[in-house]
Structure 1
Amino acid sequence: MEAIDLQPFLHDARLSVAAPSFCASRPDGRFAGGADGFFHGDRRILSRLEATVPGVPNAPVATAEGPDGSTTFVTVLRGLAERTADPATTLERRRELAPGRLTERYTVHNGGDLTARLRLDLRAESDFAAMDTVKAGRADTPLTAGADGDDALRWSRGPLTAVLALTPAPDHLDPATGTAGYDIELAPGQSWHAVLECTAEHAEGDLFPAPLADASPWRAPEVTGREHDLGHWLARSHQDLRGLLLTDPLSPADTFLGAGAPWFLTLFGRDSLWAARMLLPLGTELAAGTLRTLARRQGRAVDPATEEQPGKILHEVRRAEQHLDTGAHLPPCYFGTADATPLWLVLLHDAWRWGLPADQVEDLLPHAEAALDWLERYADADGDGFLEYVDSTGSGLSNQGWKDSSDSIRFRDGRIADAPIALSEVQAYAHEAAVKAADLLEAFGRPGAEHWRQWAERLRERFRDAFWTEDGNGRYPVVALDGDKRRVDSIASNMGHLLGTGLLDAEESALVAARLTAPGMDSGYGLRTLDAAAAGFNPLGYHTGSVWPHDSAIAVHGLAKAGLHEAAEPLAAGLVRAAAGFDHRLPELFGGHPREHYARPVPYPASCRPQAWAAASAVTVLQSLLGLEADAPGRRLTVRARVPAGYESLRIDGLTVAGLPIEVTTDHTGAVRMRAPEGFTVTVVD
């Protein structure tokens, strides 16, 4: 194994995604080592792909993304056919990505008035490195290629095979170095063309085949009327999310979102659930596919090695065991999560409210009852009534909420909290899940509704007694309780997840809003994960000071549901501003540096981009600004009377309830006008 430099390549590089495949390259299109490459199904198929002309310097001049998802890279070949200082000869490479296939179309054009003679070398390497190996900054030794006829190279290891074919056949082919060469002579005005196609196959079958390119299970959102960064963010997010779509091999009609590229392009309980929930205003089909995919893998037995328990929803699925740089090693199907199970219940309820057909809801109710049994039987480790987690294997994730890095849950003085840990937001999810599950049970004539309402109320009372503390600025909810039931007293973004869940009363919600909008938490581009005054704060700490778009969007939505729009609107504006700073493709996370000192958000090295819940946050922000809520079974919609300044004179399309379109416009004063489907009543709130 050779150590490699894991640069912050995903901010400057070009990333193409067609799940379960993606490629990440340098800005000029090269795969040149590091974490570059063409990846498929958790393996790197090509670690190097370069197009060079020996003795001729390449000068990249342009990169363009096509509406079909292709990317074109243009390079000037300096000195070739040049009579003056003007460039004459260019190399254009047009990249197209499909599941399991990378295609590059090369064009050399002589725009000068002299003949151009050159040798074009295409060099490729494969290492079949596992994703966790690449992420850790290490790579396997390149494999030796074999010739596959006179026009192709082949690499094989175990069940994996990759074939790189060229049309026309190259003039020179050297499998030992992975190099194919073309001798080219171009008269003035002439062009030369070739096509490279690399295909990947896994003899054991793909874990998650990708759906058809046109199979988007939601309506495309669109904001028109004038140029607006929110509209551009929505449009870009829609395209990125299509690239992250995966299907369940057990039921290919069911789609869900892989968490993000490059590191998490697979099924993640928490991430896939949150992303589907955020997209509910665009349709319920994705939510249904996500719910069913996870239900098929719901825990059935007690297995300490995987942390499986009856009724539990899994954390993630991989092709093989992962070896993380923390020393943890996770089994291919891993259940080490405290929050996916209540979030599954919440999504089922919310999808029903947005119009998921009753028969589909009813089919999932046995799984809901199993998830509720898990809440009651397995989540309370020591009898205090709170959902807790501890890594029982000694080799899994030490933190099992959304902030799952080993140093994420800490006291204000910087000390790391010891397990078992009861996270504040997990209690909020459990409370919300119990109340909403009670509504489902009651609506579908199943027993247990009153029991779960009482369970939720007891949890609410216990939370108020155990999780609230006070400092010089007043009362606030702590991030967690540690193994000794001490309040982990840091001020963190976790408290934003409590809003809108029913766990807090109006006074408590206002106290949380005041904390979230204070300068130590609000960076101007979104919420920091940890308050800037905390001893462990690091603006580039993964969960200790960075900004995660989904985290901020959840807080924005919670504030809006609590009626605290004056607090929600600046945070929403910060996210829209941050999206513009990343060309409207928000990454998984970015630096928590203050806006007053940084004109653009600071990238986090090797952040996933696109990331499902970061992209889906655009819909949540739009929903929150509109105050839009749905009750499809009751045939009701709720919307705000007026949007904040900056969102006047817009038309919003793509919203839907129960499969029917909702048309929304705002006039020059910001007043909201909604045309609801026939049979729906609209309630307008201030």
Structure 2
Amino acid sequence: MPQPLQPFLHDLVSQVAAPTQVWSTPDGQVVPRTDGAAGVLGLLHGDVRLLSGIEVSVDGDPGVPVAHRRRADGAVIFTSLLRRLDAAHARTGDPHVRLDRVRVVAPGRVDEELVVGSTLDVDVEVRVEVRLTPDASPMETVRVGGPLVAVDLPPEGDGWSSDGIVVTVRAPRSTVGVEDGRLALRWTVTVPAHGSVTVAWSAEAVDPAPVVVAAPPDLVAADVLLEPDIDQRLAAWLERSVADLAGLTMALPDSPGDVFYAAGAPWYFTLFGRDSLWAARLALPLGLDVARGTLRALARLQGRSEDPRTGEQPGKIPHELRRNAYELNGMSLPPLYYGTVDATPLWVCLLHDAWRAGLDDDVVRALLPNLEAALGWLTAQAGPTEEVGDVAGFVRYVSAGSSGLANQGWKDSDDAVRFADGTYAAGAIALCEVQGYAYEAAVSGAALLDGFDRPGGDDLRAWAQGLAERFRAAFWCGTDTDEPYPALAVDGSGRRVDALSSNIGHLPGTGLLNLEEEWRVAQRVTSPALDSGYGLRTMSTRDAAYAPLSYHCGSVWPHDTAIVVDGLTRAGLGDAAAGLVEGLLAASVAFDQRLPELWSGEGAPVPYPAACRPQAWSAAAAVVVARRAGVFGGAADAVDAG
């Protein structure tokens, strides 16, 4: 039997309204695979797929698809021509009868209007049919293309339960039947000459035990006011990105007012520590609601004890939250998993940035115990211990093996940390960018403690200074003929992992480097080896492991590029980032204003076919470019002042 393959997404149409999403082909159809594999098409809610088939036909004809377009309100209209009816009734070869399928996705609900329109001179009686295939596949099965999880429909056929989520279907004026395990909805209607007729159906999902819930509508920012003289590429990209961020906004059930961005659809449609923090931080000029909610949601899940199974440690911010345990490619992650080395310092950095941008002092004061716990984890994590040898004094992680993520920075695939000759780093890993985050978190944490008359600020600043000195001694690579640059990482033997990577671009603006070192990094990240012309490559073309369509060894991630642009700007090197900004703008046009999670690093807009789209931190990249362009005025100044 063939090995299941991860489904591709690049040519599909997605609609997201957290925690609900619908994926279809460009004709609007959701057709179950004939080989029994799950694919990705369908209606998903809260990490469970509820429908793997949504098939529409008119007199048995699905029509010939000719267009789909997205309305300003997020609805998608799929247009098909009904040529069999034309052949039976029209005198010319022009198209006369069409089907417009209008799909609206809202939290816990999908609605479709099916509009059959005619320019014929005669009335036509037709049968409109919708066939729905229920499903209960968990997200990890969907992601790897595993087998469908069948659901038995009750005899009355108007609802079912998928992994505890109750689904109810409504189709006014239709006849309803169960056939071959599918729900068949049928209408017999007369389409008037030069007129149209509309039928509709909906599916509603109610989850009695949700892990994540929809955000309150008043806390979902769906638009932004733009100046008329803004670069039109940026205007279109920013408008679409803000709408996508709105669709990704969700909350935890016990605190629905504390909203955050889900990492991305379809695979990461939930709270992710690192992703949600970076997205909130990059999008801070849009307002403080998401930053406040992200900080508080993650603070509630902050580690309290030691648990090797989940990776929990006191003060540690979690990596991800799922409905069930996540089984993927032999790896098993618990529903609440802490396998990340960078979420904790990033939580501190976001708290500081939000405070400087105007977050209410009472909100910050309530989070000070969490801040102190996070700083305690951070400094303890870097404390020298015999077990980690030559990476003592750096913030690092040890591979979790088969039970968790092998790599625990933002490049968390198994093959992400490589030497220039392609060999894999081993032992405890201290990533370069994590040391930058740690330095910034220590200094920012000290400022917060000082600002609220709490002790410990001087100790944190001294710790940060020591980290900078250790970094300068341990991380810099280069030869007499090669300008120095920071290593991707230092491994458990103290060796510099000397691949030239985008990770180094996260260092400017953190304070870890001096001005000369920041300039050296700027020269590297803007060189042709890393700058693809459509954003920053994750690994340079000179490295043996470089592959343009690898997940983390040569592809382009727009959030990665945006972080580098932001850091260079904060470091006073904004002019050096101009080429990277232009690359993101070019990519926004090439990808129809919705930047995916990643794409090829070959210097052309070639999709990475399994990339999430929308992805929160990809959408937030537009906010970084807009802030640089002065779209937000004082909001950006308040953040930069931090």
Give TM class, smaller chain.
over 0.9
Counterpart Cα distance in 1 of 2:372 and 2:222: 28
Asked if the contact 1:281–1:655 (Cα under 8 Å) also holds between the matched residues in 2, the reply is: no
Q: CA RMSD in A?
A: 2.2
**How far off is 1:592 after superposition?**
0.6
Matches within 5 A, 1:486-565: 486-565=495-574
Q: Which has the higher helix share?
A: 2
Give the letter aligned to residue 347 of structure 1. L
Q: Could you tell me which residue of structure 2 aligns to residue 239 of structure 1?
A: 243
Matches within 5 A, 1:124-523: 124-148=132-156, 152-170=157-175, 174=179, 176-203=181-208, 205-216=209-220, 220-225=224-229, 228-325=232-329, 327-380=330-383, 382=388, 384-392=392-400, 394-471=402-479, 472-523=481-532
Asked if the contact 1:420–1:482 (Cα under 8 Å) also holds between the matched residues in 2, the reply is: yes
Asked if the contact 1:298–1:310 (Cα under 8 Å) also holds between the matched residues in 2, the reply is: yes
Q: Could you tell me which residue of structure 2 aligns to residue 122 of structure 1?
A: 130
Give the letter aligned to residue 348 of structure 2. L
Asked if the contact 2:488–2:497 (Cα under 8 Å) also holds between the matched residues in 1, the reply is: yes
Q: Could you tell me which residue of structure 2 aligns to residue 89 of structure 1?
A: 97
Counterpart Cα distance in 2 of 1:103 and 1:340: 37
Counterpart Cα distance in 1 of 2:227 and 2:593: 14
| 1:28 pairs with 2:24 | no
Q: Could you tell me which residue of structure 2 aligns to residue 19 of structure 1?
A: 18
Q: 1:547 to 1:123 in 2, by over 3 A?
A: same
Per-residue Cα deviation, 1:350-371 (whole angstroms, up to 9, x for no partner): 1111111222111111111001
Q: Could you tell me which residue of structure 2 aligns to residue 588 of structure 1?
A: 597
| 1:45 pairs with 2:53 | no
Give the letter aligned to residue 365 of structure 2. E
The 3-state SS of whatever aligns with 1:144 is coil
Q: Which has the higher strand share?
A: 1
Asked if the contact 2:599–2:608 (Cα under 8 Å) also holds between the matched residues in 1, the reply is: yes
The percent of aligned pairs where both chains have the same amino acid is: 46
Counterpart Cα distance in 1 of 2:2 and 2:163: 21
Counterpart Cα distance in 1 of 2:541 and 2:612: 24
Per-residue Cα deviation, 1:524-574 (whole angstroms, up to 9, x for no partner): 010000001211111110101110001001111111122222311111111
Q: 1:114 to 1:281 in 2, by over 3 A?
A: same
The 3-state SS of whatever aligns with 1:504 is coil
Counterpart Cα distance in 2 of 1:422 and 1:369: 23
Deviates more, 1:565-574 or 1:206-215: 206-215
**How far off is 1:268 after superposition?**
0.5
Counterpart Cα distance in 2 of 1:335 and 1:284: 25
Give the letter aligned to residue 445 of structure 1. D
**How far off is 1:618 after superposition?**
1.1
Give the letter aligned to residue 106 of structure 1. L
Q: 1:116 to 1:215 in 2, by over 3 A?
A: same
Counterpart Cα distance in 2 of 1:103 and 1:406: 40
Q: 1:6 to 1:190 in 2, by over 3 A?
A: farther
Give the letter aligned to residue 335 of structure 1. Y
The 3-state SS of whatever aligns with 1:485 is coil
Give the letter aligned to residue 31 of structure 1. V
Asked if the contact 1:83–1:113 (Cα under 8 Å) also holds between the matched residues in 2, the reply is: no
Q: Could you tell me which residue of structure 1 aligns to residue 35 of structure 2?
A: none
Asked if the contact 1:117–1:184 (Cα under 8 Å) also holds between the matched residues in 2, the reply is: yes
Deviates more, 1:262-271 or 1:616-625: 616-625
Give the letter aligned to residue 433 of structure 2. E
The 3-state SS of whatever aligns with 1:308 is coil
Counterpart Cα distance in 2 of 1:128 and 1:171: 21
Q: 1:585 to 1:511 in 2, by over 3 A?
A: same
TM-score by length of 1: 0.87
In structure 2, the gaps of 5 or more residues are 33-38
Q: Could you tell me which residue of structure 1 aligns to residue 8 of structure 2?
A: 8
Per-residue Cα deviation, 1:150-190 (whole angstroms, up to 9, x for no partner): xx532324523322221112276536343233334434234
What number of residue pairs does the alignment pair up? 625
| 1:574 pairs with 2:613 | no
Per-residue Cα deviation, 1:77-99 (whole angstroms, up to 9, x for no partner): 10313221011211111111111
Asked if the contact 1:531–1:545 (Cα under 8 Å) also holds between the matched residues in 2, the reply is: yes
Asked if the contact 1:230–1:618 (Cα under 8 Å) also holds between the matched residues in 2, the reply is: yes
Asked if the contact 2:7–2:144 (Cα under 8 Å) also holds between the matched residues in 1, the reply is: no
Q: 1:5 to 1:83 in 2, by over 3 A?
A: farther
Give the letter aligned to residue 224 of structure 1. P
Asked if the contact 2:548–2:600 (Cα under 8 Å) also holds between the matched residues in 1, the reply is: yes
1:58 to 63, 78, 82: 63
Matches within 5 A, 1:665-684: none
